[in-house]
Amino acid sequence: MKRSSLNSSAFRCEVEKKKKLIEGFLKEPNNKDRKEKWLTLLYKTYFDRMLSDNQRIWTTAAIFIPVALAGFGAYASLSPVTLDKALLLALASCFLIWFWLIIAEHHRTLQNKSEAWTVAIRETVTLEDSESSKLVINWMNLLGSFPRAAQITGYFLAVVVTMAWAVIIFYLAETHMTEFTQGLSLIIRLFFIASPPCLLDSG
């Protein structure tokens, strides 16, 4: 099965650029042993960076995801359940899950950069076919072998958490309409109090 980044035209374009740089470096009339050592060091450096960025993604996931999901446990323990408390938990939970997703995507872009270098070196030096980077040996492997499996799972989790809180808040808004109306009017009043006079007088 193919990795998602290897299927990306942007990724392949980046790999081809780096392959041209490597090929140009290899054609220079310098010491061959030094070139091989330099490429070995370059490959190891970017491979370690790629693993490090991947580890950061899952390390932050191990911190942010449980804390974000803990909001549902805190909501279940509320007595009595009020709209303002539920809204506060919802905002905190959604913020944490989406904040983690942004961090994860940041590290994933760095990981893709490092992977582009490792693929370019392998394809230039060893002529290895980098398209087949996963080996599926049984049906259980298929769960994680489809393109962008981990990335899609992260987005799916964030969307599910957000939708779950939306359902909870709308349900409470229906059952606590008076409280919801009072809260909304309070937010509107605070907005007008905090707004600069120039915005209020612009009309």
- Residue 146 and residue 153 in contact, taking contact as beta carbons nearer than 8 Å: no
CA distances, 2 to each of 110, 111, 176 (Å): 20, 17, 51
Q: Where are the domains of the chain?
A: 4-135+146-197
82-118 residue pLDDT tens = 888 888 999 999 999 999 999 999 999 999 889 888 8
141-177 residue pLDDT tens = 666 666 677 888 899 999 999 999 999 888 887 776 6
Minimum mean pLDDT range among 49-53, 63-67, 138-142: 138-142
- Residue 190 and residue 137 in contact, taking contact as beta carbons nearer than 8 Å: no
39 Cβ neighbours under 8 A, 6+ residues apart: 22, 121, 125
Of 49, 44, 26, the residue nearest 113 (C-alpha): 49
pTM above 0.75, yes or no: no
